Amino acid sequence: MPATPTTLRDRARGAVRDEVSKQAWRLFATQGFELTTVEQIAAAAGMSRRTFFRYFESKEDLVLDRLLESGESVVDAMRERPADESPWAALRRAFEAIVSLQEAHAVSSRPLQLMLHREPVLRGTVTELHRRWLESLTPLVAERMPRRRAHRGPDVRAAAMTSSALACLEIAQTTWAGDPSVRLAPLLDEVMGAVSPLT
């Protein structure tokens, strides 16, 4: 079924959402999530508080929206990996879609990563993010898994592998965010390499 064409209004709305999100993440990086108000975000984006709520339901919704965009880039990268590549290797290469971006913008990315893991109000958002990433990536991992022989019951291998990879990514990101002396890509290689004998 062909995709519905994007209208001019859709593009305009998307541009406004992008600008609001950009200003919000800039404020989050400098003063944290809790201290940043919707009023401040709206003012930075050149709109009223009421207009902000036409685009996002809450600050948490704004955070989830941007993180899901990052997840989509990982899913797209996973789809493009060579068919003969192992699922674990494909996941590591797909993660590069966000790893390279975060390293390129380390000054702003590091405090944002710390914010995601330190702000109690965002724990539910991070949990929901992981659930959706797991939901999107698991079928792509399953396609690369070897077929089981003489085994009954649900096949949980792909979900277990995907969840493990996401946990590795989170550990690497959090460690990198708190230590400016290390690079994210080698750190993720090390973390995923420690788990790879089990995959």
All domains of the chain, ordered by start, with CATH?
A: 8-56 (1.10.10.60), 58-198 (1.10.357.10)
The Cα–Cα gap between 146 and 156 comes to: 13
pLDDT at 5: 57
The Cα–Cα gap between 83 and 36 comes to: 44
pLDDT at 151: 67
Contact 17, 55 (CB under 8 A): yes
CA dihedral (108, 177, 18, 51) positive or negative: negative
pLDDT at 1: 44
Per-residue pLDDT of the chain (199 residues; tens, 9 = 90+): 445 556 777 778 888 998 999 999 999 988 889 999 999 999 999 999 999 999 999 999 899 888 888 889 999 999 999 999 999 999 999 999 999 999 999 988 999 898 888 888 888 888 888 899 999 999 999 999 888 776 676 789 999 999 999 999 999 999 999 999 999 999 999 999 999 866 6
The Cα–Cα gap between 40 and 182 comes to: 33
pLDDT at 29: 86
Contact 65, 17 (CB under 8 A): yes
Write down the pTM of the prediction: 0.83
